Structure 1
Amino acid sequence: MPADPAPSQTPWPFGAADLHVHSVVSDGTETPAALLAEAASIGLGAIALTDHDSTAGWAEAAAAVPETGVALIPGMELSTRDGYTSVHLLGLLIDPFDEALLAETARIRESRLTRAEEIVQRISRDYALTWDDVLAQTAEGATIGRPHIADALVARGHVPDRSAAFDGILDPRNGYAQPHYAPDPVAGVRLIRAAGGVPVLAHPGTRGAGLIIPEPRLAELVDAGLFALEIDHPENRETAKPRLRELAAKYGLAITGSSDYHGAGKPNRLGEQTTAPDVVARIVAEGTGSVPVLP
């Protein structure tokens, strides 16, 4: 069980924060700096940049803090896998130079790249699509994944948007997609904690009442150091939220909220779900791998 927060934690003065945001470094469509500018334009005081398996956008985002006045909480969305189920963890305030985390994320990104190339080869047998089409939809240095293939399918006119690509051609039932390497979620929580970060189970209710992992597995994540459940998320189903709140209370987990914003890549809107300032203060108090960049 996670330790109770210290009673004398420093207050968080920047209001509610959107703790799950993606840039072009992974599968978002906006630069890190543009994300902070957009946050400022809607009156949002803080965001966490959480690109998939990468911290490469941190420096650009940090440089935009003084101009935008938006606080930055550095983070990452770490890919893990529980059997055949993809389980994502937010690692907030991790050490970006932690050797174990660097090695694991490099392995994940390499597997993502290999998988993407194989998916494109399979799709190209039935649809006009090339690897160059995918690269044309990818920012330099980005973690290439299925969203970039989806964007290439859109550009080719095979589907109208990303959502249609994932519901159709890229649906695993159609045989083109396949999983990439990812560590076990318990190992993922431990990696984040060892890197000084604060681990949050991302969007655990997207499957409805069934949740993405069963309670015994959640208990293992709690024992490994899980801090919170991301319950206030636009893709969590309403049928899942009461059970998730029960589990959060039972295991002493915090509750976070976020948009999972990807720019034009998803209908999610920046700041549509946020995390309360007192929870952000607890995250800042627990994170030791890095510190927020404040205006």
Structure 2
Amino acid sequence: MDPMTIKYDASQRFDLHTHSRASDGMNTPAENVKLAQEKGVSGLGVTDHDTVAGVKEAVEEGARRGIAVIPGVEISTRAGGKDIHVLGYFLDAEDPVLLQRLAGLRETREARNGQIIQKLQGLGIPISLEEVIAGLGRQLRPDESLGRPHIADALVRKGYAADMRDAFDRYLAEGKPGYASLPRIAPEEAMLWIREAGGAPVLAHPGLYGDDALVSEILERGRPAGIEVYHSDHGPEEEQRYLALAEHYGLIPTGGSDYHGVRQGVVFHGDLGGRCVTGEIVERLRKAAGK
């Protein structure tokens, strides 16, 4: 099933924000596609952090199962003193310039992870990056990315947090003692990268930034194709607020669960299929990408 050529319509349900173990998800890309089929979801976006390593496997599994897989990415950026994420859809996951740029972002991510480990050690927590990687139970591929959820998982296993949310609330969330952030590209630069790779850029989960004035500035500067209105961490009031922003700026209102899988029996962010949009939204994204 070629995601560039199939017909999208209002009867279909798409979860446009999912993560695999190519970044900080728990499942393989193929397992996420299988789960989408089991949940009656028509298709999903594969949007791993700073990597497209899971796209090929997911697309191939989608073709076998009749599930449409939208090639995507979630790029880490920085603006207004906050970490801002930019989603990209229908991009060329084999574009050599994009792959080189994402490799650079993963190097920054690795340096950031090292700083987090140092801060945790400074708090008296005996933890190492090697220990975090060992917790994966497999070798980390060069085109995969390691994130804070992996570190949080190690903190839980070592007894320094009750669960993933507790690990973030105690140590890893912005403003907490284990948090670290290095200089990153601006959101509008990530949006340009996505366009140059043939994709449609979307501002991810604006409700998580706690600064709607900054959100509006980013939308004005970057002029993305869409904004993620529907997200597992958005309540009804936030959905209405960002839907109004989408209408004001003429943006596509996208949505997804931000599914990362299950850790210690807890689904991180939301369950796959928990936030969906219709195929009409997907068709608008495809057109915005020029496909």
TM-score, length-normalised on structure 2?
0.88
Q: Take 1:83 and 1:98, find their aligned partners in 2: how far apart are those partners? A: 30
Q: Take 1:40 and 1:119, find their aligned partners in 2: how far apart are those partners? A: 37
Amino acid in the other structure paired with 2:88: G
278, 281, 284: which is aligned to 2:283?
A: 281
Q: Take 1:173 and 1:284, find their aligned partners in 2: how far apart are those partners? A: 37
Q: Residues 136-147 of structure 1: matches in 2 within 5 Å?
A: 136-138=134-136, 140-141=140-141, 142-147=144-149
Runs of 4+ in structure 1 deviating by more than 4 angstroms, as ranges, are none
Distance 1:220 1:73, change over 3 A: same
Q: Take 2:215 and 2:26, find their aligned partners in 1: how far apart are those partners? A: 33
Give the deviation of 1:174 after TM superposition.
3.6
Q: Residues 261-276 of structure 1: matches in 2 within 5 Å?
A: 261-265=259-263, 266-276=268-278
Q: Take 1:11 and 1:40, find their aligned partners in 2: how far apart are those partners? A: 18
More divergent stretch after superposition (211-220 vs 258-267): 211-220
Amino acid in the other structure paired with 2:12: G
Q: Take 1:66 and 1:95, find their aligned partners in 2: how far apart are those partners? A: 17
Q: Take 2:18 and 2:213, find their aligned partners in 1: how far apart are those partners? A: 21
Quote the residue 2:245 is aligned against. Answer: 247
Give the deviation of 1:239 after TM superposition.
3.6
In the alignment, structure 1 residue 149 sits paired with structure 2 residue 145: no
Q: Deviations over 1:149-205 (max 9, x none)?
A: 111111111112111111002234343221134211111111111111011111012
Q: Residues 50-89 of structure 1: matches in 2 within 5 Å?
A: 50-89=47-86
Quote the residue 1:257 is aligned against. Answer: 255
Amino acid in the other structure paired with 1:31: T
Secondary structure (helix, strand or coil) at the match of 2:44 reads strand
Q: Which runs of 5+ in 2 are unaligned?
A: none
Question: Is 1:207–1:236's contact at 8 Å kept on the other side of the alignment?
Answer: no
Give the deviation of 1:98 after TM superposition.
3.0
Q: Residues 172-251 of structure 1: matches in 2 within 5 Å?
A: 172-207=174-209, 210-211=211-212, 213-222=214-223, 226-251=224-249
Q: Which runs of 5+ in 1 are unaligned?
A: 1-8
Question: Is 1:228–1:254's contact at 8 Å kept on the other side of the alignment?
Answer: yes
Q: Take 1:213 and 1:101, find their aligned partners in 2: how far apart are those partners? A: 26
Question: Is 2:80–2:214's contact at 8 Å kept on the other side of the alignment?
Answer: no
Give the deviation of 1:277 after TM superposition.
1.3
Secondary structure (helix, strand or coil) at the match of 1:89 reads strand
Q: Take 1:212 and 1:79, find their aligned partners in 2: how far apart are those partners? A: 20
Q: Residues 88-167 of structure 1: matches in 2 within 5 Å?
A: 88-125=85-122, 126-138=124-136, 140-141=140-141, 142-167=144-169
Secondary structure (helix, strand or coil) at the match of 1:260 reads coil
Q: Take 2:14 and 2:243, find their aligned partners in 1: how far apart are those partners? A: 20
Amino acid in the other structure paired with 1:285: K
Give the deviation of 1:212 after TM superposition.
7.2
TM-score, length-normalised on structure 1?
0.87
Quote the residue 1:4 is aligned against. Answer: none
Q: Deviations over 1:199-256 (max 9, x none)?
A: 1111012245x3372423321122xxx1111101111244433332222111111111
Amino acid in the other structure paired with 1:188: A
Give the deviation of 1:131 after TM superposition.
2.0
Q: Take 2:18 and 2:30, find their aligned partners in 1: how far apart are those partners? A: 12
Q: Take 1:76 and 1:244, find their aligned partners in 2: how far apart are those partners? A: 21
Quote the residue 2:32 is aligned against. Answer: 35
Question: Is 1:85–1:212's contact at 8 Å kept on the other side of the alignment?
Answer: no
Q: Deviations over 1:90-117 (max 9, x none)?
A: 1111122334422321111001111112
Q: Take 1:100 and 1:169, find their aligned partners in 2: how far apart are those partners? A: 35
Amino acid in the other structure paired with 1:263: G
Question: Is 2:252–2:285's contact at 8 Å kept on the other side of the alignment?
Answer: no
Question: Is 1:211–1:240's contact at 8 Å kept on the other side of the alignment?
Answer: no
- How many residues align? The count is 277
Secondary structure (helix, strand or coil) at the match of 1:35 reads helix
In the alignment, structure 1 residue 12 sits paired with structure 2 residue 13: no
Relative contact order, higher structure (CA 8 A, sep 6+): 1
Amino acid in the other structure paired with 1:220: R
Distance 1:217 1:77, change over 3 A: closer
